[in-house]
Amino acid sequence: MPPYLRIKRASLSSVTGRIAAGSTPCCKRSIRFVGSAVVHCPCKSGHRGFALPRTVGGWRLLNQQLWEQAGQLRQQVLNRFGVGEPDTFQLAVVPAAIHRITRLPASRRREFRDYLKPLIDRAVALPAVPVVEPDSTMESTSMQETRLSAASGSACACCQGYCCRGGAYTHAYLGVETLQRYVAARPDQPPDQILAAYLRYIGKETSEGSCVYQRADGCSLPREMRATICNNFYCGGLREFRAKVPATGPVRGFFVAMTDNEICRAALVDEEQMLMMSAPPAPRD
């Protein structure tokens, strides 16, 4: 195991010092969004702030600044642990989910149950779908795909479920096709047991404003029970990362999770090992 990955978690401040969200032209200190476009400078020189243009170009400028910060952060972290060849750790920027764990209202559980029950009845009534067996011709690339999947999972852990928010409004993205696949693998299981199986994985707590299955430690639903999109979806940053990974050799990455205006977390990934770092809370003005 590489020495820098013997530490599983760290604070970005302990590795690099405080991470600034951006900088204003006058004082190079961190910037804050107020509303949708105005950035206020926290300096004491009387500079009140400036407005980013409500154009694609304006947001590209901010995005470029954050990308530059992400690159600098990667260099600082790798220098801190004495890692050479930083370019072998491909830089990727992913969204950062900002949420809090809250008690799941009984009404949401009932709503989910009432949605799922007729869906299961439809899936059971439809003709059985064939069970797809793994393709034996993929064995030659399975090792690299396994490594890539592990690195992708680390990126998702760094993000902490930004895409899962949509599951709050689509009942975990579950549809008839997903239930048909489940039924095909368990043809002897009656509808009431299928419903009980899905409800069993809904806990008493969930991420506020997100999918009922999203908890502090990730998705509680087993992969074989999830909607296809939950297993196959990759955000833009992760798709770009996967496309650039060499066909052979180690899979390494430096993932930075950020909101529109600040870096929240970072993950240094080497094969199946990951060092997760979190940014310290921003100081109050």
For the stretch 250-279, pLDDT in tens is: 899 999 998 877 889 999 998 778 888 887
What's the full length of the chain, in residues? 285
Pairing of strands 32-34, 273-278: unpaired
| 115-124, 152-161, 257-266: least confident range | 257-266
List CB contacts of 111: < 8 A, sequence separation 6 or more: none
Strand pairing report for 252-258 and 38-40: unpaired
pLDDT of 87 above 80: yes
- Asked whether 21 and 261 are in contact (CB, 8 A), the reply is yes
Q: Mean of the pLDDT values across residues 210-227?
A: 93
pLDDT exceeds cutoff 80 at 29? no
Kindly tell me if the per-residue pLDDT of 43 is higher than 50.
no
Q: What is the pLDDT of residues 127-152, one digit of tens each?
A: 877 766 655 444 545 788 888 988 99
User: What's the whole-number mean pLDDT along residues 37-56?
Assistant: 37
pLDDT band for position 186 (cuts 50, 70, 90): very high
Place of tokens 């530490």: 7
Confidence (pLDDT) at 281: 54
